[in-house]
A and B are shown apart, each in its own frame.
Chain A
Amino acid sequence: MTDEPETDLQNLWQEQPAQSPIIDLKALHRRAEKFQSRLFWRNTREYIAAAFIGAAFCYEVIVRKDIYMRGGFLLSLLGVAFYAFILHTRGRADREGLPAAGEDCFNFHRKALAHQRDLLRAVWLWGILPLVPGFVALLGRQAVLHPENIQKILMAIGWIFLLFSGVIWLNVWAAGRMQKRIDELDGVDRRIEMGKPGKWNALFFRPSQKAGQVPFRKLDPIKPPTVFNMKMAVIVFVLVAGLLVLVLVPLMAGVRR
């Protein structure tokens, strides 16, 4: 094959009429300001919402006479504070976890997918778990105080459980799809080198690998986003321990009564 015909197509492509770019720096600056301002207002809206809910829980903590109900609302307050902390760190995680636009295309997309996958996988940690202790403590105490309503309370617990399970399942499923796309990307270089794995190639792949997939190439490990660090683990531990104390004590008190 000679070079000439290809050059024809390259020439054809490069000589097609294209508009000269209008370099409007003021428009770019305006857009950058708008972009910053949108981020600022998004964060502000979320902080205000968290502050409102937190204030409502604070009010309940102060006015309730029952110590266990107070504890339940306090746990809910902690859950909201935890959630607000996650929102605060999310901005940083977005900046640190997402790749720069100037990275090579392979790494750019792999890192972007891995970032989304990690956020989806951990939704139970940052989106669901902070709310659980407060819910359980409040509903548990209600069950002790009003045993005649136990059916309604159990039903409420069931619905909440179903809702949370559904949210987690959907997110884990979406994270699985992200992982598949990452696996596809990881296999690209090897697939080009080896061709699509056929009957014989399949002998050299792990049995768990489906046809078309190939061993992953070695990549730099991706740092997890900032939201999943040790501080978080400690806060989660404190919340769960608080839940156990606040739920078990009133339940035992109810049993004694």
Chain B
Amino acid sequence: MALGDTSEQDRKYSEAATEFGPALERLARGYEANPDKRRDLVQDIHFALWRSLEAFDGRCSLRTWVYRVAHNTATTHILKERRQRGNGWLALDEDWPGEGPGIEDTVHEQQALARLTAMIQRLQPQDRQIMLLYLENVDASGIGEITGLKPPNVATKIHRIKALLQRQFHQGERP
């Protein structure tokens, strides 16, 4: 089946993919641990983004739009996966098992990154969205715009994220 004229959509997509491609790849890591499934998820996100840009009218920034599409696609993916695997998720304010070393050197950095990724993959969807956006340096109002949560509640969530990260990675105890 032939598509219509997609040149404008293609241009917007190229712009978005160039600017946010690496961030979308990192986002997929927070949602899918299996490398093959993660590759598929990245492709799904890019396809959803390309399709969605047909309807993008500039009412929000391109960054907000890209993150919304990516998180919506990835959350739909994990909800489907959960139905198949029945994995349990944790909220930010629950008791998280185990603590590990802080980030003092390269070896610890790699361990910390692996642990951080594993921790994100256990978060319930909404907390995961906020955590990933926080790690990408998106501010509270931007997170609110993307997730649909009220800004004060985003601030509360970010406070919990900081507390959790501090507990898990001994933040603040570095020499």
Q: Which of A96-104, A127-135, A138-146 lies at the binding interface?
A: A96-104
Is B72 in contact with A36, judged by CB distance below 8 angstroms? no
Measured between beta carbons, the chain A residues less than 8 angstroms from B13 are 23, 25, 28
Query: Could you mark each residue 160-192 of chain A with 1 if its beta carbon is under 8 Å from any beta carbon of chain B, else 0?
Result: 000000000000000000000000000011001
Is B172 in contact with A1, judged by CB distance below 8 angstroms? yes
Q: Which of A9-17, A56-64, A82-90, A243-251 lies at the binding interface?
A: A9-17
Confirm or deny: A198 has a beta carbon within 8 angstroms of a beta carbon on chain B. no
Q: How far is the CA of A23 from the CA of B55 in the complex (A)?
A: 20
Q: How far is the CA of A36 from the CA of B1 in the complex (A)?
A: 7
Q: Which of A47-55, A105-113, A150-158 lies at the binding interface?
A: A105-113
Q: Which residues of chain A in 23-69 are interfacial with respect to chain B, using CB atoms and an 8 Å cutoff?
A: 23, 25, 28-29, 31-33, 36-37, 40
Confirm or deny: B149 has a beta carbon within 8 angstroms of a beta carbon on chain A. yes
Is A2 in contact with B21, judged by CB distance below 8 angstroms? no
A182 to chain B, nearest CB (A): 13
Is A21 in contact with B17, judged by CB distance below 8 angstroms? yes
Is B73 in contact with A101, judged by CB distance below 8 angstroms? yes
Query: Known interface pairs A21-B18, A102-B56. Does A33 touch B169 (Cβ–Cβ under 8 Å)?
Result: no
A95 to chain B, nearest CB (A): 11
Q: Which residues of chain B in 13-55 are interfacial with respect to chain A, using CB atoms and an 8 Å cutoff?
A: 13-14, 17-18, 21-22, 24-26, 29, 46-52, 55
Is A8 in contact with B25, judged by CB distance below 8 angstroms? no
B3 to chain A, nearest CB (A): 6
| Total A-B contacts with CB atoms under 8 angstroms apart | 144
Partner of A29, one of B3, B73, B116, B125: B3
Partner of B113, one of A12, A20, A100, A107: A12
Confirm or deny: B139 has a beta carbon within 8 angstroms of a beta carbon on chain A. no
Is B65 in contact with A102, judged by CB distance below 8 angstroms? yes
B interface SS class: helix
Measured between beta carbons, the chain B residues less than 8 angstroms from A101 are 48-49, 51-52, 68-69, 72-73
Q: How far is the CA of A18 from the CA of B117 in the complex (A)?
A: 14
Is A28 in contact with B50, judged by CB distance below 8 angstroms? yes
Closest residue of chain B to A113, judged by CB?
Answer: B79
Confirm or deny: A207 has a beta carbon within 8 angstroms of a beta carbon on chain B. no
Confirm or deny: A6 has a beta carbon within 8 angstroms of a beta carbon on chain B. yes
Measured between beta carbons, the chain B residues less than 8 angstroms from A107 are 148
Is A33 in contact with B3, judged by CB distance below 8 angstroms? yes
Confirm or deny: B81 has a beta carbon within 8 angstroms of a beta carbon on chain A. no
Query: Could you mark each residue 136-149 of chain B with 1 if its beta carbon is under 8 Å from any beta carbon of chain A, else 0?
Result: 11000000011111
Measured between beta carbons, the chain A residues less than 8 angstroms from B125 are 109
Query: Known interface pairs A23-B18, A33-B2. Does A14 touch B172 (Cβ–Cβ under 8 Å)?
Result: no
Is A104 in contact with B148, judged by CB distance below 8 angstroms? yes
B55 to chain A, nearest CB (A): 6
Q: How far is the CA of A235 from the CA of B24 in the complex (A)?
A: 48
Confirm or deny: B157 has a beta carbon within 8 angstroms of a beta carbon on chain A. yes
Is A21 in contact with B24, judged by CB distance below 8 angstroms? yes
Q: Which 4 A-B pairs have the closest CB atoms?
A: A106-B148, A21-B21, A104-B148, A5-B171
Query: B residues engaging A (CB < 8 A)?
Result: 1-3, 6, 10, 13-14, 17-18, 21-22, 24-26, 29, 46-52, 55-56, 60, 65, 68-69, 71-73, 75-76, 103, 109, 112-113, 116, 125-126, 129, 134-137, 145-150, 152-153, 156-157, 162, 165-166, 169, 171-172, 174
Query: A residues engaging B (CB < 8 A)?
Result: 1-2, 5-6, 8-10, 12-14, 16, 18-21, 23, 25, 28-29, 31-33, 36-37, 40, 100-109, 112, 188-189, 192-193
* Pairs across A and B, CB under 8 Å, 22 listed: A1-B166, A5-B172, A6-B165, A8-B174, A9-B135, A13-B116, A14-B135, A16-B26, A18-B26, A19-B25, A21-B21, A23-B17, A25-B10, A32-B47, A40-B1, A103-B148, A105-B72, A106-B148, A189-B150, A189-B153, A192-B153, A193-B152
